[in-house]
Amino acid sequence: MPQFLNTADTDFESRFAAFLTTKREDAPDVDAAVAAIIADVRKRGDASVTELTERFDRLALTPDTLAFSEAEIDAECARVPEAERRALEQAAERIRAYHVRQMPEDAQWTDPEGAVLGWRWTPVAAAGLYVPGGLASYPSSVLMNAIPARVAGVERLVVTVPTPDGVVNPLVLLAARIAGVDTVYRIGGAQAIAALAYGTQTIAPVDKITGPGNAYVAAAKRRVFGKVGIDMIAGPSEILVIADADNDPDWIAVDLLSQAEHDESAQSILITPDAAFGQAVAEAVEKRLETLERRAIAGPSWRDFGAVITVRDLDEAAALSDRIAPEHLELCVADTDALSAKIRHAGAIFLGKWTPEAIGDYVGGPNHVLPTARSARFSSGLSVLDFLKRTTLARMSPGALAAIGPAAETLAKSESLEAHGLSVRARLDRLNEETS
Amino acid sequence: MPQFLNTADTDFESRFAAFLTTKREDAPDVDAAVAAIIADVRKRGDASVTELTERFDRLALTPDTLAFSEAEIDAECARVPEAERRALEQAAERIRAYHVRQMPEDAQWTDPEGAVLGWRWTPVAAAGLYVPGGLASYPSSVLMNAIPARVAGVERLVVTVPTPDGVVNPLVLLAARIAGVDTVYRIGGAQAIAALAYGTQTIAPVDKITGPGNAYVAAAKRRVFGKVGIDMIAGPSEILVIADADNDPDWIAVDLLSQAEHDESAQSILITPDAAFGQAVAEAVEKRLETLERRAIAGPSWRDFGAVITVRDLDEAAALSDRIAPEHLELCVADTDALSAKIRHAGAIFLGKWTPEAIGDYVGGPNHVLPTARSARFSSGLSVLDFLKRTTLARMSPGALAAIGPAAETLAKSESLEAHGLSVRARLDRLNEETS
């Protein structure tokens, strides 16, 4: 049974605090194994990657077959039914249209002292997108990772996707093609992350790695962070729905289940000002769970980590929501804008009852790679910015140097960095000579 | 002696490749020690932090004296000479003026299907800035970390700075005050990072930790990444100067030394189209090293990791620069804009001979916290964005849902995520009922 909490209960604060810190995932400690895999790939390159792929994925590859050929991709793409192809294309178009608007502006200005200041953005040269194999091999994730990279202007864009026993999801290859991925390697695990970060004889290294993965992939990303850029380490999915009684309990129930079905560690929470409505939603969840295909996953998720929280009013709901800092937040209330304005920490907000979270997973436009495990307090969903970096620019005129150089010299001396000061002083002395 | 390379030499490519991969720092493996410290701080809070501070900094604190009192800060600030106070204030004002321009815009629009899409930026609630103790306790770093946080709108801003044997740099406290820091804790090392990330009885946890530190601090930041946000893991400083023969060799020499003096592992590189000029700069460096206060640091840095690279032309210089991806890049050539336009990977560019890098360390305006160790390929200097996060927004109208919902349903089915599809289908069915 999910937890039923009520802010009016005297033990609410302690129960909510305990709820917030409930550990949902026992991440196995695979760090030593991952360190060994990375070291081996760095040392032996392709030979290591192919051996590990044979061991973990039961797939014999050679350097020539690490990547899918164009003909193989053609053949797989041809297997995709027309409706799915059209849906992927519609999704890609909408995701692209949203992300194009994220392109930041360069800037340049001259300040009152005559210094020209500014910055400019440039794309990373090469990016690698990790796509999980098996059940969680989602074509939508390929779009969500690859399209922002392409919009940013990344030149070389590769995907790694493990194909255990050689089984591949044709939709993943089609999504990669639609998104403009250059090469798809049929490798996975820590060995794929190592190959992307350090390169092998066949696989050129990339500058940035994004995409979700299992504990091995997460540990490997953490280890190569610094050598390359990485995106966040994603945890199990979460949804928080704030809904008043003017909603169909069944709609809210399926919305909650749409995250619960991802993973037994996923978390679905309803906050409502109406306890009876909360009860009705919980009943609707149970009813849906009777027939849901993934009830063996969604059921434990809902019962172990789900919650229905009754609040006095929507201000309380907003405050609790910020403490949860949910990955996905649905606002199903009369005045969604007023409630939204009170929310500060959330990865994505879905406004109004016609916006189920699943729209955002596929075709809404915003990215579905979002901060989990309360990290919306300090991080954002994937965006074009993740594939760009900023170079700052500064040009002093002689006048600007005369105006601000002395302060730099003073501070350099105070930090005992003599050469810093001398580099300014040498120029100031020249200016003084010239003007005297 | 620094390396002298020339792109015209037949062995240039192999020598340059070896130069690029030279390991400058042997990071000691302190991960196990750091893990134990973090676990202890999580378990015992203040008691752990004070014990570790007594052990490592020879300083006995109580929970009441973990933070400097206002009176203590007043007293320390009063010791700062007027010239240094004015220099700090001028620096702070210029840094603030630059960073204010980085504030990103929120966005909202209605797309052709009638969906309202957008995003908004919000600050993290609390940030902690790590300031090293001892020699590298730089007030300029306090400004560079704290001011972007304040500009972003961070509400609670704290500093940790170790004070071994109770010794504090008054300029660090003054910089913290000028930048608007709320609290300064006299703690350091992994225990400070653990206290910031997890909180203790006295120290409330923060959401984001930035600032440089030693191997223990770096390992601790890596470990708490995910629980809180962190900035980059900074390595030893670097400068690349591209200069033609129309420069004073001594100016370029002190510019190179201004990074070399930071750290024996720092790296200073000159690229020039004129071999004789390169030789002249190398001689000027040696001359300056005879008297430089920090010659015991700058000398080994220059001799072990410095380089003078002669190129055929500035196009070659730009290409090599991008392979180095320098933290700091000075362009001292006739047409700096033309050369700058060819550069893609650099943390900060200093344009023209009146712009020594040291200006950027203190008073230029742009941030001096910049990507090192070739990470300018994929990351940016510290900015206001590091203290903000973006929430995406989506609102479907019934018409928009009718237009794009079916594609979402199709893709959900293809990913075997039934509840995702049902959450869309339930609403589409209602729309169909209403219109039939």
Residues A335-358: pLDDT tens digits? Answer: 999 999 999 999 999 999 999 999
- B411 to A87: CB separation less than 8 angstroms, yes or no: yes
- B352 to A407: CB separation less than 8 angstroms, yes or no: no
Please report where in the chains the tokens 């004296």 appear, as a residue: B65
Ranges in chain A annotated CATH 3.40.50.1980: 3-25+235-364, 31-106+123-233
Tell me what the mean pLDDT of segment A160-188 comes to. Answer: 96
- A416 to B294: CB separation less than 8 angstroms, yes or no: yes
- Residues annotated within a binding site of A for NAD(+): 130, 191, 214
Alpha helical stretches, state H, B180-327: 189-198, 215-224, 249-260, 275-291, 295-305, 314-324
pLDDT of residue A232: 82
State yes or no: pLDDT of A249 exceeds 80. Answer: yes
DSSP code, position A200: -
For the structural domain made of A31-106+123-233, what CATH number should be given?
3.40.50.1980
Q: Catalogue the active-site residues of B.
A: 327-328
Tell me what the mean pLDDT of segment A24-51 comes to. Answer: 92
pLDDT of residue B234: 80
Q: Report DSSP letters for B163-185, one per residue.
A: -GGG---HHHHHHHHHHT-SEEE
Of A98, A207, A294, the CB nearest to B117: A98
pLDDT of residue A396: 98
pLDDT of residue A326: 97
Strands B183-185 and B156-160: parallel
pLDDT of residue B29: 81
pLDDT of residue B61: 96
DSSP code, position B134: G
**Catalytic-labelled residue, pool A76, A238, A264, A327:** A327
SS3 (DSSP) at A206: coil
Q: CA of B425: which chain A residue's CA is closest?
A: A251
Q: CA of A93: which chain B residue's CA is closest?
A: B404
Q: CA of A426: which chain B residue's CA is closest?
A: B251
- B371: chain A residues, CB-CB within 8 Å: 389
- A361: chain B residues, CB-CB within 8 Å: 408, 412, 417, 420
**Catalytic-labelled residue, pool A264, A328, A357, A368:** A328
Of B125, B261, B354, the CB nearest to A398: B354
Spans in chain B with pLDDT lower than 50 = none
| B242 backbone dihedrals φ, ψ, rounded to 5° | -105, 115
Using CB atoms within 10 A of its CB, is residue B279 exposed (0-12), middle (13-18) or buried (19+)?
middle
Of B376, B400, B410, the CB nearest to A83: B410
- B248 to A421: CB separation less than 8 angstroms, yes or no: no
pLDDT of residue B296: 97
Of A86, A423, A430, the CB nearest to B358: A423
- A251 to B426: CB separation less than 8 angstroms, yes or no: yes
pLDDT of residue A99: 98
Please report where in the chains the tokens 């040498």 appear, as a residue: A426
Of A348, A414, A420, the CB nearest to B391: A348
- A400 to B354: CB separation less than 8 angstroms, yes or no: yes
A327 catalytic? Reply is: yes
State yes or no: pLDDT of A26 exceeds 80. Answer: no
| B212 backbone dihedrals φ, ψ, rounded to 5° | -85, 165
**B420 annotated ligand binder:** yes
Two tokens, residue A380: 């954002």
Shortest Cα–Cα distance, B153 to chain A (Å) = 12
Ranges in chain B annotated CATH 3.40.50.1980: 3-25+235-364, 31-104+124-232
- B408: chain A residues, CB-CB within 8 Å: 87, 91, 358-359, 361-363
The residues near A74 (Cβ < 8 Å, ≥ 6 apart) are: none
pLDDT of residue A148: 98
pLDDT of residue A63: 95
> How confident is the prediction for chain A on average, in pLDDT?
96
State yes or no: pLDDT of A435 exceeds 80. Answer: no
Class of domain B31-104+124-232 as given by CATH? alpha beta
**B214 annotated ligand binder:** yes
Of A376, A414, A415, the CB nearest to B389: A376
Contact A351, A340 (CB under 8 A): yes
- B356: chain A residues, CB-CB within 8 Å: 423-424, 427
Shortest Cα–Cα distance, B75 to chain A (Å) = 18
Shortest Cα–Cα distance, A427 to chain B (Å) = 7
The residues near A208 (Cβ < 8 Å, ≥ 6 apart) are: A124, A126, A127, A128, A149, A154, A228, A229, A230, A386, A387, B378
- A419 to B261: CB separation less than 8 angstroms, yes or no: yes
Looking at domain B3-25+235-364, which CATH architecture does it have? Answer: 3-Layer(aba) Sandwich (3.40)
- B377: chain A residues, CB-CB within 8 Å: 124-125, 207, 389
H/E stretch holding A332: strand A328-332
- Residues annotated within a binding site of A for substrate: 237, 259, 262, 328, 361, 415, 420
- B116 to A351: CB separation less than 8 angstroms, yes or no: yes
Q: CA of A139: which chain B residue's CA is closest?
A: B415
**What is the number of CB-based contacts under 8 A between chain A and chain B?**
377
Q: CA of B372: which chain A residue's CA is closest?
A: A226
- A27: chain B residues, CB-CB within 8 Å: none
Q: CA of A387: which chain B residue's CA is closest?
A: B378
Contact B220, B226 (CB under 8 A): no
- A365 to B395: CB separation less than 8 angstroms, yes or no: no
Q: Where are the beta strands (DSSP E) in B46-150?
A: 107-110, 116-123, 126-130
